[in-house]
Amino acid sequence: MALDELARTVDDASRTATEIPQLAETHALSVDEAYAIQALSIRRRLERGEKLIGMKMGLTSRAKMVQMGVSDVIWGRLTDAMRVEDGDSIEFKKFVHPRVEPEIAFLLKKPLEGRVTLLEAMNAVEAVAPAMEIIDSRYKNFKFSLPDVIADNSSSSAFVLGTWNSPSIDTGNLGMVMQIGGRPIQIGSSAAILGHPGRSLAAASRLVAAAGLRLEAGWIIMAGGATAAEKLLPGMSVRLDVEKLGRTAFNVV
Ligand code: 0L1
Ligand code: MG
């Protein structure tokens, strides 16, 4: 089957919130082919009128890398349709089996291209915000191989951002508390994101270069989960508080 056809399969699954078998069950895909499928599936979204507004980093904690048996992070694309306004609700029926994880987001004021240091990456940042990513693997039982998850836009599905803050706030070790229904459910530190979320930003610049891309001024970069992800169900209210950065929240209906 052509990569185009596989891109249509994952895009349809995402668009209709329908679970699908893993592509790897029937196709021996390389990581490069998986990123090509991701690009083609996002191109379908852009053709429907969505706009590319940034990138997300995934598998940014050591625990998740070990679990997947990989030693590098993965990335996916963010479109404007994936953004949930702070405090708004998401409709459960638009997802297959969504989960939420606490993150830090960066807004870029300058492009970043290829290999950059942590300092160079942070110098390109206009603002930082508390953020949550709603991940939703389109594969049955949330089970996948590495090429599967990359082809499926690294499980990215939606995201919510709090207020933007000055980049002079060091995001290297900020306390993060995610609550569901008013009960703290995940407590962690931004240091769990590759030791410093800025390292994830630098890694994003390096990784997208392999696909001939650069991180653009004005883009939002989601640095990756600081804790394990939590399953979402209708009726839940979810809130994240990040030390010095503030809060962000959404509901599931
Ligand atoms: O954002 C993430 O770290 C998720 C990446 C894909 C793996 C998963 O869906 O848990
Ligand atoms: Mg994430």
153-212 pLDDT, tens per residue?
999 999 999 999 999 999 999 999 999 999 999 999 999 999 999 999 999 999 999 999
Considering only CA atoms, which residue is closest to atom 3 of ligand 1?
Answer: 58
- Convert the pLDDT of each residue in 198-223 to its tens digit: 999 999 999 999 999 999 999 999 99
- pLDDT, position 85: 98
Which atom number of ligand 1 is nearest to the Cα of residue 61? 3
Integer CA distances (angstroms), 136 to 36, 82, 101, 118, 215, in order: 20, 12, 11, 30, 24
pLDDT at 62 exceeding the cut of 80: no
Give the atom of ligand 1 at the shortest distance from the alpha carbon of 135: 9
CB of 59 within 6 A of ligand 1: the answer is yes
Rg of the chain taking only CA atoms, in angstroms? 17
In short, whether 137's Cβ falls inside 6 Å of ligand 1 is: yes
Q: Which atom of ligand 1 is nearest to the CA of 60?
A: 3
CATH number of the domain enclosing 177:
3.90.850.10
Tokens of 55: 């990138």
State the pLDDT at residue 88: 98
Pick the more confident residue, 1 or 229.
229
The residue contributing the CA closest to ligand 1 atom 5 is 58
- pLDDT exceeds cutoff 70 at 25: yes
What gap in Å lies between CA 232 and CA 213, rounded to an integer? 33
Q: pLDDT confidence of 1, banded at 50, 70, 90? A: low
Write down the pLDDT at residue 71: 77
How many domains does the structure of the chain reveal? 1
- Tell me the residue range of the domain where 21 lies: 3-252
**Residue 185 C-alpha to ligand 1 middle, in angstroms?**
18
* Average pLDDT across the chain, whole number: 95
Q: Exposed (0-12), middle (13-18) or buried (19+): which is 190, by Cβ within 10 Å?
A: buried
Asked whether 22 lines ligand 1 (CB < 6 A), one says: no
Q: What is the pLDDT of residue 248?
A: 98
| C-alpha of residue 58 to centroid of ligand 2, in Å | 5
Report the 10 Å Cβ neighbour count for 222. 30
How far is the centre of ligand 2, averaged over its atoms, from the C-alpha of 132 (Å)? 8
List helix spans (H) across 74-191: 118-123, 146-151
Asked if residue 157 lies in contact with residue 98, where contact means CB atoms within 8 angstroms, the answer is: yes
Q: Which two tokens stand for residue 211?
A: 């696909």
155 touches ligand 1 (CB under 6 Å): yes
Place of tokens 């940034």: 54
- Judge if the beta carbon of residue 76 lies within 6 A of ligand 1: no
Q: Say how far apart CA 21 and CA 84 lie, in whole Å.
A: 28
The CB of 58 under 6 Å from ligand 1? The reply is: yes
Does the beta carbon of 98 sit less than 6 angstroms from any atom of ligand 1? no
| pTM metric for this prediction | 0.96
Please state, in angstroms and rounded to a whole number, the distance separating the CA atoms of residues 66 and 80.
32
CB–CB of 54/88 below 8 Å? Answer: no
- 164 CB-contact burial (10 Å; exposed 0-12 / middle 13-18 / buried 19+): middle
The confidence score (pLDDT) of residue 105 equals 98
Q: In this structure, which ligand is nearest to the CA of 155?
A: 1
Q: Quick check: CB of 133 below 6 Å from ligand 1?
A: yes
